[in-house]
Every structure is written in structure tokens, then in C-alpha cells.
Amino acid sequence: MQNGFKTRHFIILTVRWLGDKKDYEFLEHTADAYIAAYGEDLAEAFEHAAVAMFDVMTEVEKVSSKVDDSVEVEGEDEYSLLYSWLEALLIKSETKRMLYSKFRILHIGKSAKGLKLEARIWGERFNPKKHLQKVGVKAVTYHRMEVVKEPGKVMLKFILDI
């Protein structure tokens, strides 16, 4: 509450298209960022989910691929793997003051804990003169998380606490 008025955050509904395919879109939600990410397979949908998360924070098209890094996460199932993936990226961004714009999932496979993801990520250090600050992402949530798989397409839905 600010000056006696309730404040609400609204995310503008946008869709990012790659050729004739939809990468991700922001869904209507009054308090947080609700995202649907798409791909031909789970790996591509995870890549688009990562781009969407950083698009909540900044204009990803202005983030150069200067720094190359790797990410490995595990989860019991596809839901916890998605959570772990986005959380690892968020932590890496916060602790290293980095923004990322390019993601390549190298492998998603079985592990002792369930599933393991290995990826390469590219980005650059945050520069306030270059990178517009939209809203900060506080956390990834399981609330309303979905993983929908059909032949030749995957849709992920998730909410980011902003």
C-alpha cells in the first residue's frame, strides 16, 4: 500500500515469435509474471522459458552474448527441473550481476535424482546505461506450473514472483 492506494503490477501481454512459431507469451496476471513458453521439444521450451524470464527483467535483444557459462541442474520430474533451471539462472544473474539472452540446452536425461539438465548460456554484465530495468524477479514459483507435451510441441506455464 502506497499513499493509501493499493498498488498492482501489470505485465503487458506480449508474444515473441520466431519465424512462424511462437516462443513465449506473457499471460494476464495482476501481481506476478505469468508466462507460457513453447518449443518443439522440452529442451527448446526450456530455452524459451529462460529468454522469457530475462525479458521480464530487461530488453533481452539488447543483451550481448559476450560471456559464456554453463548450468547443470537436477529435479525429480519435469516440474522441479523447470523450477531448478530458472532458479539457477536467477541466482547466477543476481550473484554475478549478469543478464543472459542466449540459452542452449545440451542434454536432458535421467539421473539418480530423476532428471538432469546440462546447458550453455551467454550474456553480459548488467550495465544500467545499456540495459533497461523493467521489473525484478524475486523468485520462481510452482504455482500454476504446467508442462504439456504433445507430439512435436511442448508448452510450459509458470509464474515468476516480481
| Range 15-161 has CATH code 3.55.10.10 | yes
User: b/e for 46-56, b at 16 or more Cβ within 10 A?
Assistant: bbbbbbbbbbb
Sign, Cα dihedral of 107, 123, 75, 148: negative
Cα torsion 132, 87, 117, 48: sign = negative
Domain ranges in the chain are 15-161
Q: From the centroid of its chain, how far is CA 123? A: 14
- pTM score, whole prediction: 0.85
Give the mean pLDDT per block of 10 residues along the chain (162 residues).
Answer: 36 43 74 92 97 96 97 98 98 98 98 96 97 94 95 95 92
CA gyration radius, the chain = 16
